Amino acid sequence: MRHFDVKWWIVAGLTGAIIFWLFQVLTGPSTIPQFIGREIVSQGGYSEALTVPIGWGVHLGVSLSYSLLFALIMLIPFPSSGNVRVLIGLAIAALLGWVTTLLTAPAITVTVSILSRQGLPSGVPELNTTFGLPFWNHLLFFGVVWLMYALIPHLRGKV
């Protein structure tokens, strides 16, 4: 029977968050912690000094939530063969990468609106169905989570 491993959930989420951020540093002019922090501070009328802590707080919160979602899905009693579980985990990581990419624009809009004390927005952007940098970054994030939560423990004989 599988068990929930808090250590791997947290390590995977934090590592994924840093890799996600580094990918954005290398590929664009801005990162999601910068963007979200700036938007929440601007729209909410908060002190500029809170931009970085708010941005990183949201980014880490989302990353840990996504890592937790992956960890909880992996508790489902899939076939017992370790190799099959690792492959199923990889498929789940790819699916979660796609789903989170779809939800990126609406989720950011809702998050910024709520955290800037404006309540729920009256409308949200359409789902992001492109295969651009956000898609690859989400796949990279969940690939890291899969590697740390499923593959490495499997290779060490811990799964």
The pTM assigned to this predicted structure is 0.92
**What are the C-alpha distances in Å from 35 to residues 39, 43, 68, 130, 134?**
6, 12, 24, 20, 14
Question: Whole-angstrom Cα distance, residue 20 to residue 80?
Answer: 31
pLDDT tens string 46-86: 999 999 999 999 999 999 999 999 999 999 887 768 888 89
Question: Whole-angstrom Cα distance, residue 64 to residue 57?
Answer: 11
Is the pLDDT reported for residue 139 higher than 80? yes
Is the pLDDT reported for residue 113 higher than 60? yes
Question: What pLDDT was estimated at residue 2?
Answer: 63
- Is pLDDT larger for residue 18 or for residue 150? 18
Question: Whole-angstrom Cα distance, residue 141 to residue 144?
Answer: 5
Q: Where are the domains of the chain?
A: 6-155
Arithmetic mean of pLDDT, 137-153: 93
Sign of CA dihedral 51, 114, 128, 101: positive
pLDDT tens string 2-47: 677 888 899 999 999 999 999 999 998 999 999 999 999 999 999 9
Buried/exposed code over 11-42 (b: 16+ C-beta within 10 A; e: otherwise):
bbbebbbebbbebbeeeeeebbbbbbbbbbbe
Question: What pLDDT was estimated at residue 98?
Answer: 98
- Is pLDDT larger for residue 27 or for residue 155? 27
